[in-house]
Structure 1
Amino acid sequence: MTLARHLPPALIALLLAACGGGNDSNNPKAAASAEADMAQAAAVRPRAKDPDHHEFSATLAAPFAVTASSGERMFAVQMNHPGIADGQVFAWALSLVDERGRVLQRWSGESRYAGAPVTASVRWAGRGAGGTALADGLYQLRLEAASVDAATALNQGASAERTERLLAAAAPTDHAEQQWPIALGQPASVALPPFAAMPTAAARGLAKAQSAPAINSLPYTVYYANLHSQTNDSDGGGAIGSCSSSQPAQTGAYGPADAFAYGRTAGLDILMSSEHNHYFDGSSGTNASGNAAAARSRYQAGLSAAAAATTASYLALYGMEWGVISNGGHMNIFNSNELFAWEYNSSNQLFGDRFTAKSDYAALYATMRQLGLIGQFNHPDPTGQFLVGGADLGYSADGDEVMVLAEVLNSSAFSSNTTETETGLSNFEAPFNKLLERGYHVAPASNQDNHCANWGRSYTNRTGVLIPNGTALSKTSFLDALKARRVFATMDKTAQLVLTANGHVMGERFTNGGALSLSVGYASNSGHSAASVQIYEGVPQRNGTVSLLASSATASTTPAVGEHFYYAKLTQDDGKMLWSAPVWVTQSNAPVDTTPPTATASESGTAGSITLSATASDNVGVARVDFLVDGVVKGSDTSSPYSVALDSTALANGSHSLVARAYDAAGNSGASSAVSFSVSNAGATLNETESNGSIASANAVTSQTTISGTMGTTTDKDYFKLTLAAGKTLRVDMSCPAAYDYDLYLVNAGGTTLTSSESATCTESMSYKNTGSSALAVYIKVAAYSGSSSTQRYTLTLSYP
């Protein structure tokens, strides 16, 4: 976009420096005064303190359902263009569209910018043009908005059609589009295929308690992430209460360590601090007197803060948001141990570890690929950004290899909301679709781009990351999941969305012959349901338009020979949306494979790390083997010999059933016969608590598998109560010093002996199976027969063979 003709000279110089224009990078005197210029610019235009966020933006707040008894609802269009001159014209048009794409009603208008965001409101009575009645169902609101200088606006005259002409005349970089669903009346319910919610980081223990097999279970745990935020290492970390924009370079109140601690308490599983790479000199421009070593050191300190904040259940990440908005585009680099830079101080020292030319995305992608780095397109614009070969969102093979995510929805970057109720949301579906049609293999992400100190709390949106069950959360497993594109974007942090195609999980690339069956799996842990589901299709490198394949949760299609991609979008009954990662399909005309693989299963170990193994064969080749324990997928392996390690503490003590299910590339599957195995975890020890000398005063055994106690006198008795499930067997082994003779009994609530062990020592063993149809309360009884000690302890070991 063109800014210079609108701004006073002092601000022109400043913004040229911030965007890399002019010659300030080689002018120590000019660069050293960058912060003074910033102060002067802020006085001229208060929002000019956001030099890296001076793009035009427009958001639409549209209530999904009506709450007023009159049936009316209010739509709000908010527009902003920080740093632009007063008098700039904001033109906007809002269209009501039905499911077939027909425009039913259209509103438009114009507003003048005066240094602050502008809001235009539309009151809708819930009817069509002319007051016509509309059928119950889902509709879309489409927003077009543009920022146009006053002179251009005057040249368009004053007719009623001027707004439409202004929208058409706006520069591509000063144009915004948004689309949001709304419901009228009671839309028809959506049929969904059976799908068991995958475990989440917050509820990983639920799978342990499942008593019935999960339906359509997938072998992954969902981790909810916010992969885009800033701290005072660049232009974020603003204190709540005074924060309404980005902060001048490195002046925010809070740093990376604060952000990581906050994100953990906000319920995030993963938080990334993504700092603007060109702010490490302490300036949004070029600080010629800056300390290059300090810039590099500050980046390393951020990496150290992330490592220190990471725990077994929380992953802190630190990296760069590389690039600038104007004539560029922001992108995250997730895993670089080096700071990339293009600015030098007056001693010709680079403010980073590695030089990367500003806005040269083809070269950057090549560097990232060489170093094994991966990235994310941040709040992409469909035009004027990420140029390669002069093309917007231009394709390169290097870029396709390293760019794994693209943001499809963000909450407001400058929100200070801490109750997850932010209304400023931006939708990037159009550039996401364009990237897919360009040929990029990207999954959708939804992040918060926090600049205020509310990391994870501005809204409920998250990026869902799928990590294999049994694999610990770590930077490595996170990066592996992103490289596999096992990711979904969600506006609801309690929801999940997965697309499968002929047995392949979203993110996969595979060859197909014949029909392709697509299925959308959705789960909500907060009681929501689906109001609509769409499956979209496109062709990589066609540079065409993504189209709607089906408005249902399942679809079958036979693609044309060649390359295709498919992804799902779901709207909940509260209007919040989710997007799946695509599947990429190479359709061939080869004969269809309908022969399922065969498999056999085996297990070794009873405690600690147990091994689930399988052999599998197929007429074409085995693609993967899933291991199901009691009907729940616990892990997968894609190469022979097929096996996974499983922590036995994820299972209850006792017997379990293992089935290995093998898949081939065509999606055919074959299951092994069930194999029974037992788990005997060494749980926590229960130390006897006196008095427990009767059934009524028995100590309760919960998850403990070891009991320790003493016989204080030769007439002492100890009782321990536990519940034995129907069909389960309890074994109790006792040991104690050789000088004593204690006996062991198992009795019911009435004191009747069910089984016992009475040898001449205190080395005793007994087993009992509950053959009834319901759980049974049983009592372990230890009695002194000869000798006693109040200090020498006996030990009971419980197992469930």
Structure 2
Amino acid sequence: MKTSSFTSSLAWTRCFVFAAASFLHLAAGAAPTAAPHEHQEFEAMLAAPYHGENRAEARTFTLSFDYPGLQGRRSVHWRLELVAPDGRQVARWQGQATLSGRPLDVPVRWQGRVANRPPAPGVYKVRLRAASGSEEVEQAWDIAVGSLPAPALPSFAPLPGRRGQLQAAPAPGALPYTVYYGNLHSQTRDSDGGGALDACRGAQDPQTAPFGPDAAFPYARAHGLDMLMVSEHNHMYDGSDGTRADADPAAARVLYQTGLQTARAFNEAHKDFLALYGMEWGVISNGGHLNIFNSDELLGWEKNGKGELLADTLTPRNDYGALYSLMRQRGWIGQFNHPSLKDQFKVNGVPLAYTADGDEAMALCEVMNSTAFSTNDKEGETRRSNFEAACNKLLEAGYHLAFSSNQDNHCANWGASYTNRTAVLLPAGAALSRDSFVAALKARRVFATMDKASQLIFTANGRLMGERFDNRGPLQLSVQFANGAGRTAATVAIMEGVPGRNGMVTQMASAAVVSIVPSAGPHFYYAKLTQDDGKVLWSAPVWVDQAAD
């Protein structure tokens, strides 16, 4: 690593932009047309220890860079900033590194001082901005500095969990829901996942890995998950990352239907688990990935050499407005996967653009992922990405979204690479099924957690997170938390925004219970809680239309 000046003209944004380099996948028969490799991309992640070392504030931040499939060398320019609670930048490091086909970690040491003095206590933000060529990534995490008082939390009767999380039966006065923990983003050999852990080094060539959905569902269940979504890339059902001229449309459609049937059969045999099979629609280059959870139709745009559609239903590539309209018409529900602030989910040329159809169809936004190519099967993966800024931009655009936290597994460790989960609340006594799951997503009864043993419930005047309602007069917001492994809350933040404003989400309060009188008009609020070990939970928002007095 060599320290250097940083080019100030770089337009820093958070993104997951993939390289536009073409690649040719040769297979028996005809070769596919050239297309950007879905996972040949610049990756940058930040690990920021929440607490300092040995009661001091000093700690080492780790910057992780990679470019899967890289041939040759690529330069990386990076800048790391430490931002105080009042928004001032109080420290900065910058440098450059060279990628040459292997992951690269760059340690950055902070001695725990600001202007050669002990820093004032508070919650600081560590922000990484990195670029390689035209690709840019931004990551940010909070850290605790100094001795911070633990937030006072209201008493909370935890929700029962399906398979032993927290308590097995409702406590007196508990909300009438059961919480289910799952991973709602993963791949198998039906597209570019399913690689054996001892050989998995990234995305697999489509349909070549040893493990399919028939292996993924029992693996996830055996590792304690309540739900697994196998979300295969919709344009890989011809067995390529491009388009095979000799592809058989019937074979592509049959493969998708076989995956659906595998999920149905597993659910029938295991009533305590929800196997979901569907698609991750779209491409990253000038596009964006999203999951569709409940489509029995394979959607696509690719055609073989005879002009035959390699899917059930035609959906034009990168036309998100048309896709949202079709999803709303069909009753399909979706999730924005690892959203970028730049050049993704465009409608009429506008990234992260709002449409009424999209608002109806899209229910979730991934706020955090563990790295897609992890081979860790002990829940110890340290490489993680944060997408809260892009999710907030979608909320400010007007979308009604709950946060999710997934793993995007491409290796055969479905749900086991880290402790993060998406938690879904089903009515007490309701069967765990695709229908009840979709109903919960439509109600946004969801929270995202980096700790599978934790619960976060957020209410507004007693109304549960995910609800939309009119209000007059005071609004009491309440954050409720529980952990089944002895962890406690270190900090609480109540975040506030305005749907349709296209502005910035800001922190409104640092207490777990607050009473306010909002200004007239629409608002949304959500809770963000950090545990004493630095793991974060995000509630779904509540949406309030405040009447004028």
Name the TM-score, length of structure 1 as normaliser: 0.64
Residues 1:543 and 2:502 aligned together? yes
> Counterparts of 1:451-470 in structure 2 under 5 Å?
451-470=410-429
Matches within 5 A, 1:364-403: 364-403=323-362
Partner of 2:490: 531
Which structure 1 segments of 5+ residues have no match? 5-10, 19-27, 39-49, 149-170, 591-801
**Rounded Cα–Cα distance in structure 2 between residues aligned with 1:303 and 1:462:** 23
SS at match of 2:491: strand
The match for 1:33 among 31, 34, 39 is 31
Q: Deviations over 1:449-488 (max 9, x none)?
A: 0000000100000001000111111111111000000000
Question: Distance between the aligned counterparts of 2:420 and 2:249, measured in 1?
Answer: 37
Whether the 8 Å CA contact 2:460–2:478 is kept in 1: the answer is yes
* 2:431 matches 1:446: no
% identity of equivalent residues:
55
Name 1:111's counterpart in structure 2. 97
The answer to whether 1:335 aligns with 2:280 is no
Asked if 1:147 corresponds to 2:104, the answer is no
Q: CA deviation at 1:195?
A: 1.3
From 161, 180, 184, give the equivalent of 1:227.
184
Residue type at the aligned position of 2:228: L
Partners of 2:18 and 2:425 lie apart in 1 by 42
The one-letter code of the counterpart of 1:80 is: D
Map residues 245-394 of structure 1 onto 2, 5 A cutoff. 245-310=202-267, 311-394=270-353
**Is the contact made by 2:160 and 2:170 (CA closer than 8 Å) also made in structure 1?**
no
Mean Cα deviation higher: 327-336 or 69-78: 69-78
- Aligned residue for 2:244, secondary structure, equals coil
Which residue is 2:140 aligned to?
A: 179
Q: Is the 8 A contact 2:18 2:40 kept in 1?
A: no
Letter in 2 for 1:142: R
Deviation at 1:34, TM superposition (A): 3.4
1:578 is the counterpart of 2:527:
no
Deviations along 1:616-643, one digit per CA (max 9) or x if unpaired, are xxxxxxxxxxxxxxxxxxxxxxxxxxxx
- Structure-1 separation of matches of 2:106 and 2:527: 32
Q: How many residues align?
A: 531
| 3-state DSSP of counterpart to 1:303 | helix
Relative to 1, partners in 2 of residues 1:501 and 1:260: Cα closer, same or farther, differing over 3 Å? same
Q: Shift of residue 188 of structure 1?
A: 1.5
User: What is the distance in 2 between the residues matched to 1:13 and 1:457?
Assistant: 31
- Aligned positions of 1:497-576 closer than 5 A: 497-576=456-535
Give the conservation status (yes or no) of the 8 Å contact 1:29–1:288. Answer: no
Q: Which residue of 2 aligns with 1:495?
A: 454
Match of 1:57 among 32, 37, 43: 43
Aligned to 1:774: none
Cα distance, 1:576 vs. partner? 0.2
Q: Which residue of 2 aligns with 1:437?
A: 396
Q: What amino acid does structure 2 have at the position aligned with 1:487?
A: V
Q: Rg bigger for which structure?
A: 1
Contact kept? 1:31, 1:286, Cα under 8 Å: no
**Cα deviation, residue 529, structure 1:** 0.7
- Closer/same/farther in 2, CA of residues 3 and 336 from structure 1, 3 Å limit: closer
Tell me, yes or no, if the aligned pair for 2:159 and 2:170 is still in contact at 8 Å: no
Aligned partner (choices 124, 135, 158) of residue 197 of structure 1:
158
Aligned partners of 1:324 and 1:135: how far apart in 2?
Answer: 45
Q: Distance in 1 between matches of 2:481 and 2:139?
A: 25
Whole-angstrom distance in 2 between the partners of 1:234 and 1:176? 26
Once the two structures are superposed, what CA deviation does each residue of 1:326-352 show, in whole Å capped at 9, x if it has no partner?
A: 010000000000100111112222111
Give the alignment partner of residue 120 of structure 1, picking from 106, 114, 119: 106
Provide, for residues 647-694 of structure 1, a one-character-per-residue CA deviation record: whole Å limited to 9, x for no partner.
Answer: xxxxxxxxxxxxxxxxxxxxxxxxxxxxxxxxxxxxxxxxxxxxxxxx
- The alpha-carbon distance between structure 1 residues 234 and 207, as it changes in their structure 2 partners (threshold 3 A), is closer
Separation (CA, whole Å) in 2 of partners of 1:487 and 1:2: 29
The letter of the residue matching 1:101 is G
The question of whether the paired residues in 1 share the 8 Å contact of 2:162 and 2:168 is answered with no
Distance apart, 1:539 and its partner CA: 0.8
Structure 1 residue 85, shift from structure 2 partner: 6.2
Structure 1 SS opposite 2:243 = coil
SS in 1 for 2:358: helix
Rounded to whole Å, the distance in 1 between the matches of 2:281 and 2:393 is: 21
Is the partner of 2:163 in helix, strand or coil?
Answer: helix
Partner of 2:6: none
1:68, CA displacement in angstroms?
5.2
CA contact 1:3–1:84 (8 Å) conserved in 2: no
1:164-175 equivalent positions in 2, closer than 5 A: 171=134, 174-175=135-136
> Once the two structures are superposed, what CA deviation does each residue of 1:752-787 show, in whole Å capped at 9, x if it has no partner?
xxxxxxxxxxxxxxxxxxxxxxxxxxxxxxxxxxxx
Q: d(CA) in 2 for partners of 1:69 and 1:548?
A: 27
Q: Which moved more, 1:101-110 or 1:350-359?
A: 101-110
- When the two chains are superposed, the root-mean-square deviation of aligned CA atoms in Å is 2.2
Alpha-carbon distance in structure 2 between the residues aligned to 1:432 and 1:126:
31
**CA–CA separation in structure 2 for the residues paired with 1:263 and 1:363:** 34
- Report SS of the residue matched to 2:394: helix
- After the TM superposition, which residues 71-110 of structure 1 pair with which residues of structure 2 at under 5 Å, given as runs? 72-82=58-68, 86-110=72-96
SS in 2 for 1:236: coil
Q: Secondary structure at the match of 1:99?
A: coil
Q: Contact 2:220 / 2:414 at 8 angstroms: preserved in 1?
A: yes
1:203 aligns to what SS in structure 2? Answer: coil
Matches within 5 A, 1:663-702: none
> Deviations for 1:307-327, whole angstroms, at most 9, x for unmatched residues?
111122100000000000001
Aligned residue identity for 1:578: L
Amino acid in structure 1 at the alignment position of 2:139: Q
The correspondence of residues 204-219 of structure 1 with structure 2, limited to 5 A, is 206=167, 208=169, 213-214=172-173, 217-219=174-176
TM-score norm. by structure 2 comes to 0.92
Match of 1:480, SS state, is helix
Unaligned runs of 5+ in 2: 1-16
Aligned with 1:134: secondary structure? Answer: coil
Which deviates more, 396-405 or 346-355? 346-355
| Equivalences for residues 583-622 of structure 1 within 5 A | 583-589=542-548
Q: Distance in 2 between matches of 1:521 and 1:54?
A: 41
Contact 2:32–2:242 (CA under 8 A) maintained in structure 1: yes
Compared CA separation, residues 146 and 510, structure 1 to 2 (3 A): same
Looking at structure 2, the residues matched to 549 and 31 of structure 1 have their Cα atoms a distance apart, in angstroms, of 60
CA positional deviation for 1:137: 4.0
Moved more, 378-387 or 101-110: 101-110
- Change in CA separation of 1:228 and 1:139 when aligned onto 2, cut-off 3 Å: same
Structure 1 residues 379, 29: CA separation in 2 closer, same or farther (over 3 Å shift)? closer
Q: What amino acid maps onto 2:110 in structure 1?
A: W
Q: 1:31 to 1:64 in 2, by over 3 A?
A: farther
Over 3 Å counting, the alpha-carbon distance change for 1:346 and 1:198 in structure 2 is same
Contact 1:61 1:423 in 2 (8 A): yes
Relative distance call for 1:556 and 1:481 in structure 2 (3 A) is same
Alignment partner, residue 626 of structure 1 = none
1:187 to partner: Cα distance: 2.3
Distance 1:514 1:108 in 2: 49
Amino acid at match of 2:131: A
- Stretch moving more, 201-210 or 447-456: 201-210
* Cα displacement string for residues 163-206 of structure 1 (whole angstroms, at most 9, x for unaligned residues): xxxxxxxx5xx221111122334321111111111111123894
Relative contact order, CA 8 A, sep 6+: which one is greater?
A: 2
For 1:89, the aligned partner's letter is S
Q: Structure 1 187/303 Cα, relative in aligned 2: closer, same or farther at 3 Å?
A: same
